[in-house]
Amino acid sequence: MKSAAIYLIIGLIRLVSFLPLPAAHGLGWLIGLGLWHSRSSTAKVAMINLKLCFPEESPEQRAQKAKKSLIALGKTYAEMGMSWMWPIPKVNKLITQVEGMEHLQQALNDDNGIILIAPHLGNWELLNHFFRQHLFMTVMYKPTKIPALNKFIFNTRKRVDVGLVPADKRGVLSLFKLLKKKGVIAVLPDQEPSVKSGVYAPFFGQPALTGKLIGDLARKTPAYLLCCYAKRLDDGNYAVVLKPANEEIRNEDAVVSATALNQSIEDCILDCPEQYQWGYKRFRLQPEGRSSFYK
């Protein structure tokens, strides 16, 4: 991508940050409808994923869910200006509900460290704002290949005052060290890893290559396992939801561990399935002998 296009994208994000949130959501609604009616690749992937994960539903039900998920994705895009550019106190005021605060309090009282498991559900950027009010956490950060965009994203996330470590071997080692010191880390659990870094485990009944990192971290530390997401409410504000994850994630068997992790993610998604990132090729890599679903 040329540098001029990158600066245009950054400029658009800054421009959208000046919009009132309802207007930004209206823009996101238009983006989502555009993705749906243009039969974009994102829309096609969403329909494939929903057919795999909800085979009991009718095509019409899945289409409606896919359309809503693309609108939610459009709103998430349009919220970047708010999440990254608005004054932090102003962003914090948008979080009007917290479900499961007692679980976070229990984790803090235990003082054994915390592993925050945050799937791509709702507006995951808002979680940085929420948790920074209660603790200091460290997240893995994968730099983009474009220096200008990388610098922009890094600075906007860093302003919330969270720790950032690279998504490589050095970063993984840092996470283990932080947990041994009873720190708090956050990991995205639903991105497809390399074959070497994952195992196949069922996700909504389909084999999905699932990362082993969270299981490895959980087995080697007594850290509290806490799922979290920020769902968009009908009034335009947000609710942060906190749920203890399945303790079988600590199982020595990597497949059992990954299965428990995916079950925990499913439990979160079923709360607001239309706000999940269904347009991601979650089942891209398949076990030997199975064809790709995305042709």
**Residue at 265 is within a domain:** yes
Structural domains in the chain (count)? 1
Average pLDDT value for residue range 248-256: 98
60: number of Cβ within 10 Å:
8
- Whether residue 157 lies inside any domain: the answer is yes
Read off the pTM. Answer: 0.93
* Structural domain of 156: 86-275
Tens digits of residue pLDDT in 144-194:
777 777 778 778 877 888 898 988 889 999 999 999 999 999 999 999 999
**pLDDT of 32 above 70:** yes
Q: 190-244: per-residue pLDDT in tens?
A: 999 999 999 999 999 999 999 999 999 999 999 999 999 999 999 999 999 999 9
Query: CB-based contacts of 31: which residues, under 8 Å, 6+ apart?
Result: 73, 74, 75, 77, 78
292 in a structural domain:
no
Q: How many CA atoms lie within 13 A of 166 on its CB side?
A: 6
Q: Which two tokens stand for residue 224?
A: 């509290």
pLDDT value of position 111: 95
Is residue 210 included in any domain, yes or no? yes
Is 24 among the domain residues? no
Say if 41 falls within a structural domain. no
Q: Does some domain include residue 70?
A: no
Question: Quick check: 69 and 278 in contact, CB under 8 A?
Answer: yes
What is the per-residue pLDDT for 140?
86
Question: What distance in Å separates the CA atoms of residue 68 and residue 82, rounded to the nearest whole number?
Answer: 21
Distance of CA 290 to the CA centre of its chain: 27
Residue 217 lies in a domain: yes
